[in-house]
Amino acid sequence: MKTIKFLIVALLIGFSTANAQVSVNVNIGTPPVWAPAPPAPTQYYYLPDIDVYYDVPAERYIYINNGVWIRSANLPYRHRTYVMDHPRVVYLTDYHGNTPYTYHHTHVVKYKGNNGNHYGHGNGNGHGNGHGNGKGKWKNKGNKH
């Protein structure tokens, strides 16, 4: 009788420990259609070509405007023609907090922007009607797709 009770207790303990496994799945947010899936859960992306951050869970762009950091569902007006088909995306996997721009000066230097030039205007011959006179940060050399 003691053997049967021991066997029943052992089986119950075995079932309870087998069912006690916990699975943890961290989902920070759904990546936007324009960004490939990040290699690790990432809350913020940095788009160096236009110097803008993207908050994945909040689905908000973060950019500086007149010295103030803004969060918006849309890109700033100055980038209204930027084509988000395959932008250069930097995954900020090493930052956890609410202000990814804390290291903005480092990001600007490390990931120098405007290498892809995804602006959707210009005639393709290097004489686009872009942002400025070609001497500043936002040179536009036409559509280079």
Query: Which residues fall within 8 angstroms of residue 126, CB to CB, at 6 or more apart?
Result: 141, 142
What average pLDDT does the chain have? Answer: 72
- pTM of whole model > 0.85? no
Cα–Cα–Cα angle for 24, 30, 36, rounded to 5 degrees: 110
Report the C-alpha gap between 144 and 89 in whole angstroms. 18
Q: Express each pLDDT in 66-108 by its tens digit.
A: 999 999 999 999 998 998 888 899 999 888 899 999 999 999 9
Tell the burial category of 79 from Cβ atoms under 10 Å away from its Cβ (0-12, 13-18, 19+).
buried
